[in-house]
Amino acid sequence: MLPSVPDHGDGEPDPHDGSPDDPGTPDGPDEMSTGSAESHERPTVRQPRIRRVMHPRTRDALAWTWVLLASLTLALLMRTFLVAAFLIPSESMESVLEVGDRLLVSKLSYRIGDPSPGDIVVFHTPPNMRPSQTSELVKRVVAVEGQMVQAIGSQLFIDGHRVAEPYLPSSTYTRDFGPNLVPTDHVFVMGDNRTASQDSRYFGTVPESEIVGRAFARFWPLSRLGGL
């Protein structure tokens, strides 16, 4: 009698069968290549930033240097284009302005507008007054272009009409002059202290281009601090 041989045709597959359809068999070459690629990938290491440590005193000194430079630059720009200081050198504008008073002068006023009667202005000293103690004078505008100005009996007249001057003491004496016609782009200026002022009655009208600016405030002495 021949020995019986087990029939695997209809039963479960042999676990030891090396069939290529066996899902348990790994794809050796693919998995190995993937593992090899991953093993060569390394994370990027960021180098630490080198910190520059400054001594606190050095840092403060630099900060104050920048502050001073910025302040000086601003002051220079303001003096050049906006505001200037002016020292009253004589008694020609008493009693409103006294010798030694310090004024703030707006350089922008007449770049955006025109001088008006009553304005106190600083202007370059006219050539026919040089040499002078100062290169700039301060006076009050009493008439502008196109106006006829004159004084009769200590009273000021513009275009034939008497002009009130509340900034003058009632006892102020004004010598007779005129009539004078103010040319285009000029102003007629006078000092408030009429008997001690050299002004347009002596050196003529002042071109508007020679005006430095309008005095708008007194900042010294502190006891007389205020607007003009």
Mean pLDDT of 203-226: 93
Span 99-118, pLDDT tens digits: 999 999 998 888 888 999 99
- Average predicted confidence (pLDDT) for the chain: 80
- What separation, in Å, do the N-terminal and C-terminal C-alpha atoms of the chain show? 144
> Is the model's pLDDT at 42 over the cut of 50?
yes
Least confident of 9-18, 50-59, 99-108, 151-160: 9-18
Indicate if 92 belongs to the active site. Answer: yes
Q: How far apart are CA 192 and CA 7, in angstroms?
A: 139
pTM summary value: 0.66
Mean pLDDT of 55-73: 74
Residue 31: per-residue pLDDT: 46
Residue 56: per-residue pLDDT: 74
Least confident of 11-15, 71-75, 131-135, 214-218: 11-15
> Is the model's pLDDT at 148 over the cut of 70?
yes
Among the listed residues 90, 107, 109, 139, the single catalytic one is 139
> Is the model's pLDDT at 16 over the cut of 60?
no
Please report which confidence band the pLDDT of residue 135 belongs to, taking 50, 70 and 90 as the band edges: confident
Residue 33: per-residue pLDDT: 46
Mean pLDDT of 159-174: 92
Among the listed residues 92, 109, 197, 200, the single catalytic one is 92
Residue 67: per-residue pLDDT: 78
